[in-house]
């Protein structure tokens, strides 16, 4: 059994979550308040005992572990050459835009969306952003294909997908993804699928994650799948990610755009990722069970004490999307900051005002403290 209940003091350790606004109680950035799996810590310590920390590359053990993970968990078979190692997924989004867009082109996203999706077009000169809201169908957020058909232009070059979706917590079905891949093929677009939350699914039987590269091979010449163990195993500060690109031409164009703009990956990132994929599945399963209980607590508490807050029921991720519009608050995140001293993610940054994103990946005692502070100022 792993311990997810102990509160580990984090202030003053130079972390973004607690030290960016030390006057506030943080439930914002996608960073868990759980200790990473002990096997990861052990792997980092073992590597640190070798006293030379020169330039690093993906070693054979990591490559084998990653290919094994992709085969077992994502049901895709890839070889070493299909993996492009990266220091993070946000730089990968920027890299894709620079690789496949020219001045005057456009990037398409669906909102609400992870904020870098809405700003990455600024990393290349004179690009447009086409944002299409997700729509609610039968009580479930989904992709509005009719609206996308109306919004797409002949200059739209890339579609940025978040799956599982951040901040909506949706796990898109195979049919939805095939329809999206066909849409991209029809309009000659590259589908960049950010799947960083794919191992944070609450019921894998009911809502299994469908990796973009598990779609029919006819679409693979325009698919870039972005993955990382960072969110699942709480190692985002170490900096390790990778792209799966099986089409040679697509991979060459993506890699060529790197230029000299991306930093080297640390040796500790490589060894932490290997440990995560080789040894940490039991930890992941227990962590998912704990998050499942946390989501239940969150829903029950707000239903009982703050019925005007409409809480999204996540299929995945530990980031819940809360509709505050019935409360009559002009800026809900600012209200909770000023009145309750809570640091929540403002929905406006995701392209949807009147909402907040709440991170429930924390000990249950901390979760209840945050919820009680929210309710007290409504």
Q: What are phi and psi of 296, to 5 degrees?
A: -60, -45
Q: How many structural domains compose the chain? A: 2
Q: Helix (H) and strand (E) counts for the chain?
A: 13, 15
What gap in Å lies between CA 356 and CA 332, rounded to an integer? 7
Look at the block and give the residue holding tokens 């000990």: 363
- Residue 11 lies inside a defined structural domain of this protein: no
- Residue 7 lies inside a defined structural domain of this protein: no
First-last CA distance in the chain = 38
Confidence (pLDDT) at 124: 85
- Residue 192 lies inside a defined structural domain of this protein: yes
Encode burial over 61-86: b for 16+ CB neighbours within 10 A, e otherwise. ebbebbbebbeebbebebeeebbbbb
- Residue 162 lies inside a defined structural domain of this protein: yes
- 199 pLDDT higher than 90: yes
Q: What percent of the chain has pLDDT over 70?
A: 100
Mean pLDDT of the chain: 97
- Which CATH number do you get for residue 306? 3.90.1150.10
- Summarised one tens digit per residue, pLDDT across range 250-301 is 999 999 998 887 888 999 999 999 999 999 999 999 999 999 999 999 999 9
- List beta partners, residue 192: 160, 224
The answer to whether residues 144 and 197 belong to one domain is yes
Confidence (pLDDT) at 125: 81
- 23 pLDDT higher than 90: yes
**Residue 314 domain boundaries:** 16-31+281-376
- 341 pLDDT higher than 90: yes
- 303 pLDDT higher than 90: yes
- Summarised one tens digit per residue, pLDDT across range 154-189 is 999 999 999 999 999 999 999 999 999 999 999 999
What gap in Å lies between CA 157 and CA 102, rounded to an integer? 9
What pTM does this model have? Answer: 0.97
Helix 38-48 × helix 267-279 angle, to 10°: 140
Spatial neighbors of 190 by CB under 8 A, at least 6 apart, are 96, 100, 157, 158, 159, 184, 222, 223, 224, 250
Look at the block and give the residue holding tokens 């070798």: 50
The answer to whether residues 185 and 307 belong to one domain is no
Mean pLDDT of 337-354: 98
- Summarised one tens digit per residue, pLDDT across range 118-152 is 999 998 889 999 999 999 999 899 999 999 999 99
């Amino acid at each position: 059994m792993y311990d997810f209940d102990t509160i580990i003091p984090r202030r003053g350790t130079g972390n973004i979550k607690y030290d960016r606004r030390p006057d506030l109680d943080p439930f914002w950035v996608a960073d868990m308040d759980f200790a990473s799996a002990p096997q990861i810590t052990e792997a980092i310590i073992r590597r640190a005992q070798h006293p030379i920390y020169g330039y690093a590359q993906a070693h054979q053990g990591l490559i084998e572990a990653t290919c094994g993970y992709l085969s077992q968990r994502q049901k895709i078979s890839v070889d070493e050459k299909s993996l492009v190692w990266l220091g993070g997924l946000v730089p990968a989004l920027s890299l894709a835009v620079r690789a496949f867009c020219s001045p005057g082109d456009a990037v398409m996203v669906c909102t609400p969306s992870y904020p870098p999706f809405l700003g990455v077009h600024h990393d290349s000169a004179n690009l447009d952003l086409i944002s299409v809201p997700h729509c609610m169908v039968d009580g479930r957020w989904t992709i509005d294909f009719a609206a996308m058909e109306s919004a797409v232009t002949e200059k739209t070059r890339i579609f940025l997908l978040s799956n599982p979706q951040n901040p909506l917590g949706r796990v898109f079905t195979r049919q939805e993804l095939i329809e999206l891949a066909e849409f991209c093929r029809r309009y000659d677009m590259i589908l960049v699928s950010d799947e960083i939350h794919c191992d944070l699914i609450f019921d894998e039987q009911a809502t299994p994650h469908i990796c973009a590269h598990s779609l029919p091979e006819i679409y693979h010449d325009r698919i870039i799948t972005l993955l990382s163990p960072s969110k699942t195993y709480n190692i985002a500060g170490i900096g390790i990610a990778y792209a799966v690109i099986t089409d040679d031409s697509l991979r060459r164009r993506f890699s060529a755009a790197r230029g000299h703009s991306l930093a080297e990956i640390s040796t500790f990132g490589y060894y932490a990722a290997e440990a995560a994929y080789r040894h940490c599945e039991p930890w992941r399963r227990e962590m998912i069970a704990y998050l499942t209980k946390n989501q239940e607590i969150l829903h029950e508490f707000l239903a009982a004490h703050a019925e005007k807050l409409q809480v999204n029921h996540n299929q995945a991720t530990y980031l819940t999307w809360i509709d505050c519009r019935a409360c009559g608050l002009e800026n809900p995140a600012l209200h909770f900051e000023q009145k309750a001293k809570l640091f929540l993610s403002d929905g406006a940054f995701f392209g949807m005002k009147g909402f907040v994103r709440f991170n429930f990946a924390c000990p249950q005692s901390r979760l209840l403290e945050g919820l009680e502070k929210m309710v007290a100022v409504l």
